[in-house]
Structure 1
């Protein structure tokens, strides 16, 4: 074991593309996945748009055994499919490796909301005998980790992280820690989906959603017109390996490396009324120190991109303090997908790895320019070719969570 953790497989499900290359091509074309909600009638709610994945783009029955469908929520079905794709992308057959040498660490911020809503309706509408026995676990935050582990025989270290948006990075940080302790391979990342009436009310309760009905104007992070965000569904599952093992598989022609997870850190903000500053900058500094990277070496930042004027202003201030004004390209791909809960940060990591692979920074969806007061070099309009070796990914979870992760091109 080398102690270095690399990513060898990606599985992506996003509102603007199902499949890694489909998503990446759509993002570079500037295609948005923001659309009117179709899975339920949202006409009576202030917010009526979301990053929803159409049924025609992802039908679980096309990807999973029928026996799994009655016991899983939509989010778990997506996580299982994405894990299958990530393992295939990494050319890993779990049956060929010792089962205790492989583990799973995922993040989730909502659990199986749609499944839970349906069973609660059965309970109150028909009686307890009509509630599925699978409700006992299908709603739970840890169910994606458990189902991925069972389906693939991954009996090594397992974990589930709940930290809203930041959880997508925290799961990868946990997986990296497991590999450093001797686990050969970890399936990690995050997937979220709560686009149902019960979940929609939870989103509305934050007071952070945009209420505009034009998909091109509703979620514009860092823009002068920023007015909140839109929820979405999806995320990314990644295969992480010890670099030494990956090199052996590459020598046999069985693997490739997208990049190294070089640094990671997490912090928690003080209470809002404490008068103390938030700790996003501290998380970034700790992650850079963990990677042995100076701010001047960072070639691109994938921002949290909250979409509200105050939150965007705070993040922009962090970027100016770390790098200087307009000193580093800033990517905000969430503008084309909505904020996917924990899945959003994992998707940002997958996107950053694709940027490192292809040496290009994707545009921020419909955003035409960053507000002058932010002082950041937001990439808009078209993909920007660039020489990229090191990327910093930032994520903030509702309630005070901050996480940062540093990626590097393969050595």
Structure 2
């Protein structure tokens, strides 16, 4: 069994705010950050909405000018989130043992906007106009590499590519490194970089909403659910074992990752049920908790009716009808690729801290026979344990149990 990991620092960067405080304030207010795509002209496409991060100036957040030509927007976001996570944890990475800090990130596709620009240069101007940095700036492992280089981190590194489930799966891999004796790992997911190339790839999946009203486009568990809205951002976390944290003088931390589970769905057409519920059961078993111990579920909330129904069935089967409060604050940001579940985990940390469950935005007509207690306004209740669920396109399921410091 993998021992608990404690979260001693986190960096949040989302459409709802730069930094945890801004994100939390806007989330509790139910103020969605979904609007018309600003990163490129989405007019010719059937889907024209996104959850984008407004007003982000990489120079203002300490990204050196030399890095700008070699990084995608997504990587710049990740570098800032990593800086904030280390600051929040009170860690100077340079003061850690040489191989004492690892990096594990998740990505769904890499730096799509950078890749799109260089492909455009190739076909419109010729190969001599393609940046040499194209060799890695688009790559799905680039965030791990750039964070490692910037902070001189020589511990174990890795990347997981399980789409929306990636933000949780990265933490699972990080916990294994802690189990093997690595003192500290920075892990999570920051994803999304809207561009025509990436947009077409997402449209091909058939799950993006074509509704152009920002308040009606992404409605998980609603009678009008018709797909999701993409977004960008996520969160990175400094993870340590309790012993490692105490050894450097830390006496309190944000929360503990008490249990995790990952499963894979059977192939379509086999008639076998999906395995999201099994992932949740594995996470609960590892945490040593019963379903009755969970105070809130942060849902995957696909926004696709058949997927919403499958998740509702899993929740109802595990907790009983109306058995646990369920929330989907990602209705305010869109689904952030590999950053989505990581942002949900950060939001769950804040929910535990303040004793309030954030709302699901814009859902007006929850499907009654789903049988879930969908939270649509802030609910002030004690939160000691939260379950975060995520599903990645292609059959990936992940679950994490987050608990108050014990």
Smaller-chain TM-score bracket: over 0.9
Once residues 361 and 90 of structure 2 are traced to their aligned partners in structure 1, the CA distance between those partners, rounded to angstroms, is: 32
Give the alignment of 1:102-251 within 5 angstroms: 102-250=101-249
Structure 2 equivalent of residue 273 of structure 1: 269
- Is 1:48 the counterpart of 2:48 in the alignment? yes
Counterpart Cα distance in 2 of 1:176 and 1:353: 17
Superposed, which structure 2 residues align to 1:353-364 within 5 Å? 353-364=349-360
2:306 pairs with 1:310 = yes
**1:352 pairs with 2:348:** yes
| Partner SS for 2:145 | helix
Which one of 312, 315, 321 corresponds to residue 317 of structure 2? Answer: 321
Post-superposition CA distance 1:218-273 (Å, at most 9, x none): 1011111111100000010111011112224445xxx7411111111111111111
SS in 1 for 2:99: helix
TM superposition score normalised by structure 1? 0.96
Residue of structure 2 equivalent to 1:386: 381
Contact 1:5 1:176 (C-alpha < 8 Å) held by counterparts: yes
**Which residue in the other structure is 1:17 paired with?**
17
CA contact (8 A) 1:37 1:52 kept: yes
- Report the alpha carbon displacement of residue 4 of structure 1 after superposing the two structures with TM: 3.2
- Tell me if the contact between 1:3 and 1:243 (Cα under 8 Å) persists in the aligned partners: no
Residue aligning to 1:59:
57
Partners of 1:167 and 1:244 lie apart in 2 by 27
Q: Distance in 2 between matches of 1:109 and 1:395?
A: 13
Does 1:368 find its partner at 2:367?
A: no
Q: Matched residues in 1 for 2:285 and 2:205: separation?
A: 34
> Could you say what the CA RMSD is over the residues aligned between the two structures, in angstroms?
1.2
1:395 partnered with 2:394: no
Once the 2 structures are TM-superposed, how far is the Cα of residue 369 of structure 1 from its aligned partner? 4.7
SS at 1:59 equivalent: coil
For these two proteins, the number of residue pairs brought into alignment is 404
Match of 1:189, SS state, is strand
Unaligned runs of 5+ in 2: none
Q: What does 1:278-297 align with in structure 2 at a 5 Å threshold? A: 278-297=274-293
- Separation of aligned partners in 1, 2:126 and 2:134: 14
Regions of 4+ moved over 2 Å: 247-251
Offset of 1:285 from its aligned partner? 0.7
CA distance in 1, matches of 2:213, 2:119: 33
* 2:96 is the alignment partner of 1:94: no
1:250, 1:4 → 2: CA distance? 18
* Counterpart for residue 340 of structure 1: 336
**In 1, Cα distance between the equivalents of 2:216 and 2:359?**
16
Conserved in 1, the CA contact under 8 Å of 2:355 and 2:380? yes
Kept in 1, the 8 Å contact 2:252–2:405? The answer is no
Q: Aligned in 2, Cα 1:336/1:28: closer, same or farther, shift over 3 Å?
A: same
Q: Using the TM superposition, give the Cα deviation of residue 38 of structure 1 relative to its aligned residue in structure 2, in angstroms.
A: 1.3
Q: Is the 8 A contact 2:388 2:399 kept in 1?
A: yes
Distance (Å, rounded) in 2 between the aligned partners of 1:204 and 1:197: 10
CA distance in 1, matches of 2:203, 2:194: 11
2: distance between equivalents of 1:368 and 1:34? 17
Per-residue deviation, residues 16-37 of structure 1 (Å, max 9, x unmatched): 2111110011000111110001
